[in-house]
Structure 1
Amino acid sequence: MTTSDEKAALVIGEKLNEGKTKIIYNLPKSPNGDHVLIRSKDKISAGDGARMHEIEGKSAISNDTTCTIFELLNACNVKTHFISRHDETSFVAVKCEMIPLEFVNRRLATGSFLKRNPGVKEGYRFSPPKMETFFKDDANHDPQWSHEQIIEAQLKLGGVTIGEREVELMTSTAVVVFEILEKAWATVDCTLVDMKIEFGVNARTGEIFLADVVDNDSWRLWPSGDRRLMRDKQVYREMKEVTGEGLAIVKKNYKWVQEQSRNLLPGKRRGRVVIVMGSPTDIDHCRKIEACLKEVGVFVELRVTSAHKGTETALGILHYYEGHNIPTVFIAVAGRSNGLGPVFSGNTAYPVINCPPIKADWGPQDVWSSMRLPSGLGCPTAIIPEGAALAAAQALGMTDHIVWSKIRVKQLNNRINLLHADKKVAIQTE
């Protein structure tokens, strides 16, 4: 939320654009004049504006939902235009030129997909999610565009021509955003059936990122996976006649989604990694593992013990962490003869990963003590700190949607960085 001092300093300039449900204002005094204020309206619409009504208080509900979702995505390192909440009905964002495309991801077949694909039963599950793109044109009811149509259109916004790399960036980001929110909503027993998002281009930097709003108008949500319990705008769309009572139900649904969305944000930690080192001389190796884990939001503790020199003490440390009933992964850092990882693995049901600090002299010989294990032990070995950290984080990500999401975005950003590098090299060789 913008502080009181920042609100006082916020100079709202001219209206840049106004749509059915929001207004965008320039913020001329912002850094580089690069920010805008996006204010929600008490409007709800359907059928490209053919049906439109006012719901008192919807602007505050929609703005809070949008800000919460963007705070979640930003916390997971997704690149968005969102900067901060301003007040109940508005937020501050990076100014951008909107790309006139809607990217729709579907997990279950329903709605317009069934009309365009007769013979497909409602509820058909897409794995991976089904991606569709639509050109924003109300007069022609937002026609569906193929990949080839987008490329051939050569859309140019913010000095960027939308080509193969730009489309790949947006489609891959759209899938990851859907998967993150799908994972998040599942934690409150809600099925994210489908959703649409849009992208913008920062005219000053040429960067493409997630933009616009993401609220209860953006998706279909089915609590417990039951269509009859839907809480999204489809309730409004399907009304044969819109009444005051019907709009009250819609508002109640939107309020429910607003409240539930707050439960999706990062909260108390759900799991941890305990890095156990055989000697304090291994601390630098352990710090590298710790840094990689913190990058993806994992809580870390470091301990020093020896399975050879203090077996009872080592097992005492193991049982201490088992007693907390918190999802835990142990990473054993021990060189020379590694008894630490195998001893831990043989005495716990929690995952144990070896990450020995390989030395130049006896490294090839020492690593065998981590890899050649007695039968009955499930104790994999990673010799690179990042590899051990990611393996542990992936295990915790099975029950922690924030950790899972940060890993997913890390993979996405690796892909995006390669696209940028490829474009730069291609330009230099032209």
Structure 2
Amino acid sequence: MASSTELNIGQKLSEGKTKQIFELVDQPGLVLVQSKDQITAGNAARKDQMEGKAAIANKTTCCVFKLLQESGIKTAFVQQHSETAFTAAHCEMIPIEWVCRRVATGSFLKRNPGVTEGYRFTPLKMEMFFKDDANNDPQWSEEQVLAAKFSLAGLTIGQCEVDIMNRSTVAIFEILEKAWATQNCTLVDMKIEFGVNVKTREIVLADVIDNDSWRLWPAGDRSQQKDKQVYRDLKEVTPEAMQMVKRNFEWVSERVQLLLEPQASGRVVVLMGSTSDMAHCEKIKKACTSYGLPCILRVTSAHKGPDETLRIKAEYEGDGVPTIFVAVAGRSNGLGPVMSGNTAYPVINCPPLTPDWGAQDVWSSLRLPSGLGCSTVLAPDAAAQFAAQIIGLSNHLVWCKIRASMLNTWVSLKLADQKLQACSL
């Protein structure tokens, strides 16, 4: 929802082909990003006014950034302010466009003759372009970026920073690719930009991501493309042609809202043999919550009340919600194996092992009769992650959180190593 707060807008900080950036006098460290109704192609060699484009672009960007933020990606986005503007952290922009490609098309084919259109890149193809309108945004190598020694908001862009942006671009693309797949739409390629937050000196995803930023092919069919390429391909710009382009942009802005909605529900049901295991189970529940997974705690003993255990199992099998059972039972774990032998749903053993008998007790979770398929994960947070990975196969929002978590773990290790190396010099 747009914010109704009145903003004290200060001076214009910058202006591009499709947006303006204003300082916010009463909110230091924040800016207002105001979209324009202008649409351009070929570094503004072609440009036209498209009434309503600012609102369409702003709506698309806000939805995309919300999806990425809820997944766990660090962005400059704060909140939507109006139909045509949003607030963001003030960043000094790194003058590089990161382009990520899944399918070969467009300029890539011109620069790489012999590659057929539709060739699928696995892994993704990464390219960098220096933002320089006068020279048509030339492609740069990693070595050129490093040689430039960009210094922004007190941060020098070196190998560590380039590696972080590279990894982040891949993760961002994969998250949006997964989300668009729920609408039977192929994310062909996209461009993004990063900035350095002037307050935190962190590299974050900045600028905008709207229908100018990517190629989208419904059902993987180029003839149905809904992105700005339709405008680029116009032989003649007529009012009728511009209405067609606008309808495509509106189609994207309507569908992009659906990316924030889960396509399938799912839950985790933790069964504990005794309330003495509550602390262990609460850790599982907390970790499940971080992935956006509902988690229900129940108490039942497969040894002392097998009929009740199977009744509880049937309760969660009967409503059609995809369910992962986590069995928490110490000593002799009959709970997990009994559940596994009587349900088609996945079962994860997560026994609360104790120092005295843990080495012996774990075998009751690991050594199972034939025909049982329950896995064993000892750490509560790891059991929740495993459950999330299973549910993420059919719920893109859960999958996106896992993918962002992987990126954030990698980045934290990269920064820790950089800090250690700096201390060693």
Same-fold call, TM cutoff 0.5: yes
Q: Which of 250, 254, 262 does residue 245 from structure 2 map onto?
A: 250
Distance 1:398 1:173, change over 3 A: same
* 1:2 CA drift (Å): 4.8
- Cα distance between partner residues in 1 of 2:254 and 2:321: 27
Match of 2:208 in 1: 213
User: Which piece of structure 1 moves more, 144-153 or 219-228?
Assistant: 144-153
In the TM superposition, 1:67-146 aligns within 5 A as 67-146=62-141
Match of 1:279 in 2: 274
In the TM superposition, 1:227-376 aligns within 5 A as 227-267=222-262, 270-376=265-371
Query: Residue 24 of structure 2 aligns to which amino acid in structure 1?
Result: L
* 1:361 CA drift (Å): 1.4
- Cα distance between partner residues in 2 of 1:127 and 1:347: 40
Query: Residue 102 of structure 1 aligns to which amino acid in structure 2?
Result: E
Q: Write the deviation string for residues 37-96 of structure 1: whole angstroms up to 9, x where unpaired.
A: 000000100001100000000000000110111111111111000001110100000001
- Cα distance between partner residues in 1 of 2:90 and 2:131: 19
SS at match of 2:72: coil
Q: Is the 8 A contact 1:269 1:299 kept in 2?
A: no
Match of 1:14 in 2: 11
Identify unmatched segments of 5+ residues in structure 1: none
Q: Write the deviation string for residues 242-277 of structure 1: whole angstroms up to 9, x where unpaired.
A: 111110000000001000000011458711111111
Q: Write the deviation string for residues 9-57 of structure 1: whole angstroms up to 9, x where unpaired.
A: x100001111110000000210xx1000000000100001100000000
* 1:142 CA drift (Å): 0.8
- Cα distance between partner residues in 2 of 1:268 and 1:279: 35
Q: Is the 8 A contact 1:72 1:266 kept in 2?
A: no
Instruction: Give the total of aligned pairs.
Output: 425
- Cα distance between partner residues in 1 of 2:376 and 2:408: 26
Task: Compute the TM-score of the two structures, normalised by the length of structure 1.
Answer: 0.97
- Cα distance between partner residues in 1 of 2:272 and 2:363: 18
- Cα distance between partner residues in 2 of 1:223 and 1:208: 32
Query: Residue 247 of structure 2 aligns to which amino acid in structure 1?
Result: K
| Pair 1:153 & 2:148 matched | yes
- Cα distance between partner residues in 1 of 2:397 and 2:61: 18
- Cα distance between partner residues in 2 of 1:62 and 1:204: 27
Match of 1:183 in 2: 178
Task: Compute the TM-score of the two structures, normalised by the length of structure 2.
Answer: 0.98
Identify unmatched segments of 5+ residues in structure 2: none
- Cα distance between partner residues in 2 of 1:391 and 1:244: 53
| Pair 1:416 & 2:414 matched | no
Q: Which of 200, 219, 244 does residue 224 from structure 1 map onto?
A: 219
Identical aligned residues as a percent: 59
Query: Residue 364 of structure 1 aligns to which amino acid in structure 2?
Result: A
| Pair 1:29 & 2:26 matched | yes
Q: CA RMSD in A?
A: 1.1
In the TM superposition, 1:41-60 aligns within 5 A as 41-60=36-55
